[in-house]
Structure 1
Amino acid sequence: MKIAIIGTGIFAIATASLLDKNLDNFTIIGRDKNQLDDLKTGNCNPKYSNYKIKATLNTELLDDCNFNNYDILFYCLPTLALNNRYLSTNSLIVFTCKGFRENFLFESVKNYVLLSGPSYANELISEKYTSFTVSSFSLKNCEIISRLIKTKYCLLYTSLCPKSIELFGIFKNIISIGCGLINELDMGKNVEASFIIKFLDNIYKTFDINKSELYQPAGIGDIYLSCSVNSRNYRFGKNLIYKTNKIPNNTTLEGLDSLKQLNSKLKDNLINLFYDLIMNCPVLSPNEIKNKIINLLNY
């Protein structure tokens, strides 16, 4: 079985650290030749981590790669990098990204698995205990991927509702931005909790999802982790009152990207109201932002 990771960033390395426990060899596919050279010669990408991969490692440039040469692909790039090249492959593709671009995965892909949960990459590499939801329409695919990544410090839960798992992954990053903003405005944890409830209720009303999936690691577990200061989306929300909604260079911000895309795709008043608030934060006073948040909660 030929297995590859698409991406050379920190979560790609974290994924490699899991495969490393169960495979003798695999491939890492990426755009940056220098990083691929480091991985090929030293089994390490020092730009992101000092972790040394123990398996025999092959590397391949993304532009030269034929994905159909692989049985399984772990997609560890941002959602915005997704295109038909990835979505049309015959390989089983495992998505670790949690964002939205143009269409939902459950609308456009058939042979796929979602790997989602409260999983900071650095903690995963350090072998700190974590949990994942492995989700697919196919139980067989869930079992295949679970065997590849299971370790003694990685607890796995199976879900056959990838639509619900995908939606939680998308919206938890959007929720995180709002909670960061509320926190920096010192509105209190009660308001943060109310904001989370408001968005979860809206998800249930807008989409036909399985509510029991909220109890998965990819549900409440990932929402909890994302609404903390170590989350990029949460920190972005905290910085909004300082008159900027610009993303720092070389930073992936799935929450803002997804919010922009969903604002265009969905006729959803809550999403539209929150998008307008985020875009207008630089010209609003703290009190005006607070009032808009309260209005949003009362909507």
Structure 2
Amino acid sequence: MKVAVLGAGSWGTALAKVLAENDHEVYLWGRNASQIQQINETKINQKYLPDTVLPESIMATTDLATALHEARMILIVVPTSAIRQTMENLNDLLVNESQPIIVHATKGLEQETKLRISEVMEEVLKPELYEALAVLSGPSHAEEVARQDITTVTVASHSLTAAQIVQDVFMNRYFRVYTNTDVIGVELGAALKNIIALGAGLIEELGYGDNAKAALITRGLAEISRLGVRMGADPLTFIGLSGVGDLIVTCTSPHSRNWRAGRLIAQGLAREEIFENVQMVVEGILTCKAAYELAKEHEIEMPITEALYHRLYENASVAESLEALMMREGKQEVSLQKHLEQE
């Protein structure tokens, strides 16, 4: 089928490569004319995946209408801040007869509204313009997918049929896809793990060892699942690929821009300086504010998120944030069953 991939960053490019290698007709859309020209002429996305040669069949374009024309599936891989405008563009360009499945692979929360990505999509998109919405997420560095490292991810949709179609479109010998119907859990796991990855990079920069890393990942998963369950997610989703799987890979690898940003936080850089240094959107920094506010609204304890929020948005020192985190009142570690009963 024809698939339009909207977003020519590292992840969009890597997923376009997967689709092209599965013999689909792939149009890769981006705004930067020189980048798009370079991809068409050299089959290399020099800025984001310089070591990867793309299939000849991928057509890159800056013309959104061309990318969307007769596409049976649209894959959205733009930053969270661009989701709403992208959906408004789709409203103007899609025709009722096409009704593609729309999949997003963006990991964040809209900062002002605190909505999940699919909620923004449902709020903006005219329902008659698409067949179903889905989210693709899981432990998946773009660089590794591009070189065909074994990768497993999850696709979630309220329509299991749509999820199975997406599964079939993406699956191959190195890229395995599982289906799920818990859109809330998959989206929240994807968004909130970026916050914990900031903390992982921070403690790495400060020289802490494996004990601290294990504690951060474990307690990070606990607070992600607390908020997720309160917001309607299936708790079992958080021990799956889009939960603990994505959390582990993002918290332990220098491929992760959020992990790299965490190291810069430990060096004392301000938010704007971090964005400039990383030169890509750091979703964890933006999501941290939205998650902090959601935790207050839902009366959920998220101490790691809170500590990072105070450092990023209230200029607390790293030492103060760590001390506040470690010197909280003693707690009991509860089983999953007790956790659910409390919720």
Which residue identity lines up with residue 274 of structure 1 in the other structure? Answer: L
Question: How many angstroms apart in 2 are the aligned matches of 1:297 and 1:12?
Answer: 44
Picking from 235, 255, 260, the partner of 1:235 is 260
Asked if 1:252 corresponds to 2:281, the answer is yes
Q: Deviations over 1:12-52 (max 9, x none)?
A: 22112211222252211110111222233343323333433
Counterpart residue number, 1:284: 317
Structure 1 residues 39 and 183, CA gap change in structure 2 (3 angstroms): closer
Counterpart residue number, 1:19: 19
Q: Is the 8 A contact 2:158 2:183 kept in 1?
A: yes
Question: How many angstroms apart in 2 are the aligned matches of 1:169 and 1:44?
Answer: 28
Asked if 1:223 corresponds to 2:247, the answer is yes
Counterpart residue number, 2:340: none
Picking from 165, 190, 197, the partner of 2:211 is 190
Asked if 1:59 corresponds to 2:60, the answer is yes
Q: Deviations over 1:223-247 (max 9, x none)?
A: 0011114122122222223221332
Counterpart residue number, 2:100: 91
Runs (4+) of structure 1 exceeding 6 A deviation are none
Deviates more, 1:52-61 or 1:207-216: 52-61
Structure 1 residues 222 and 39, CA gap change in structure 2 (3 angstroms): same
Counterpart residue number, 2:74: 73
Q: Is the 8 A contact 1:194 1:297 kept in 2?
A: no
Q: Is the 8 A contact 1:132 1:218 kept in 2?
A: yes
Q: How many residues align?
A: 297
Report the secondary structure of 1:74's partner residue: strand
Counterpart residue number, 2:125: none
CA RMSD of aligned residues (A): 2.7
Deviates more, 1:132-141 or 1:200-209: 200-209
Q: Which structure is richer in relative contact order (CA contacts within 8 A, separation 6 or more)?
A: 1
Picking from 96, 109, 112, the partner of 1:100 is 109
Asked if 1:211 corresponds to 2:235, the answer is yes
Instruction: After TM superposition, give the deviation of residue 197 of structure 1 in Å.
Output: 3.4
Gaps in structure 2 of 5+ consecutive residues: 92-98, 123-131, 332-343
Identity %: 25
Report the secondary structure of 1:56's partner residue: coil
Question: How many angstroms apart in 2 are the aligned matches of 1:83 and 1:122?
Answer: 27
Structure 1 residues 212 and 285, CA gap change in structure 2 (3 angstroms): closer
Gaps in structure 1 of 5+ consecutive residues: none
Structure 1 residues 263 and 24, CA gap change in structure 2 (3 angstroms): closer
Counterpart residue number, 1:274: 308
Q: Deviations over 1:200-253 (max 9, x none)?
A: 333333322212112322111110011114122122222223221332422220
Q: Is the 8 A contact 2:75 2:104 kept in 1?
A: yes
